[in-house]
Amino acid sequence: MAKNRVDLTEAEWSVIKAIWAHEPCTAPFIQQALEKKTGWTYSTVRTLMDRMAAKKLLTATKAGKVTRYQSAISREQAQRSELLYALKHAFNNALSPMVQFLLDTGELSAAELETLESMIRAKKKRKRTA
């Protein structure tokens, strides 16, 4: 799994979420999109995006003086990597304690619990027919 690890800092999560919502886009666009939330200047955002491109998290395409950025990883890849990292390091790869922790600390509505139960039933059914 280490080879496929997508390691995003909190700042990189902010940037990549904005890019997923608006890609392809430029650093000035992302800076404006995040300015109220982060207070980041253009140079901060541009440096962050260039570093993310160097880490192969983004692709950068230059056309004249304009650089357009696009995600090089999917939302699913990033989420999977974060979740598996937490499972491995915080719960010793034991899924049940992790789920129990989430159930105990989260305020789940009856509808959310029903959805989880439906997902488990569907998974069991697929396993039986496989």
Q: What is the pLDDT of residue 1?
A: 37
* CATH architecture type of domain 2-71: Orthogonal Bundle (1.10)
CA angle 100, 75, 93 (to 5 degrees): 35
The H or E element containing residue 12 is helix 10-22
Per-residue confidence (pLDDT) for residue 81, from 0 to 100:
92
For residue 39, what is the DSSP state? -
Q: Distance between CA 100 and CA 36 in Å, rounded? A: 36
CA dist 11 and 3 (Å) reads 22
Closest CA to 33 of 58, 15, 8: 15
Q: pLDDT tens digits, the chain, 130 residues: what are they?
A: 345 678 899 999 999 999 999 999 999 999 999 999 999 999 999 999 999 999 999 999 999 999 999 999 999 999 999 999 999 999 999 999 999 998 898 788 889 999 999 999 999 988 888 7
Neighbours of 26 (CB within 10 A): 16
Report the alpha-carbon distance of residue 54 to residue 48 in Å, rounded.
Answer: 10
Whole-structure pTM value? 0.82
DSSP letter assigned to residue 58: E
